[in-house]
Amino acid sequence: MLSKWLITIEENDVKVETVIEKTELVEGGTLNGSVYITTEDENDFDKIDFIALNVLIVQANGVQNIIAKHSFQLVGNIHSKDAEIVPFELIPDDRWICNEDEHLIFKTKVVFLDGTEFEEQGFIYYHME
């Protein structure tokens, strides 16, 4: 099992990479990482409306429920060398506990001002001690 992983979305001359520091969490731990946004042109940052980070619990029948979320806009941020790093931290609670037929997904979604959306996801694990 990977202890660290990367989600990459490349669209509209913008590259968004989400790095998760630990995909296997235990009670009392936090889900943390960083989102790296890079562009060829400094003005391309303005193409992004917002970026959403979601943790979903997926039931055996395929129903997905958001149990944690974090979103941010790049408006007014200072960009250095055509890149920006946005750290994040999500704190698990009781909703993160899965039954045998359920699992957790971490999803990064990039929404552009033209209305297009792109998302990538991966599995994370939460264990009670």
Percent of all residues in the chain with a pLDDT value above 70, rounded to a whole number:
90
| Distance separating alpha carbons of residues 72 and 86, to the nearest angstrom | 9
At 43, give phi and psi (nearest 5°).
-70, -15
Question: With bands split at pLDDT 50, 70 and 90, how would you rate the model's confidence at 1?
Answer: very low
pLDDT tens-digit map of 26-56: 888 899 999 999 988 877 778 899 999 999 9
> Above 90 in pLDDT, residue 105?
yes
> Above 60 in pLDDT, residue 70?
yes
Q: Which amino acid belongs to residue 77?
A: N
> Above 70 in pLDDT, residue 77?
no
List CB contacts of 68: < 8 A, sequence separation 6 or more: 31, 54, 55, 90, 91, 92, 93, 95, 96
> Above 80 in pLDDT, residue 2?
no
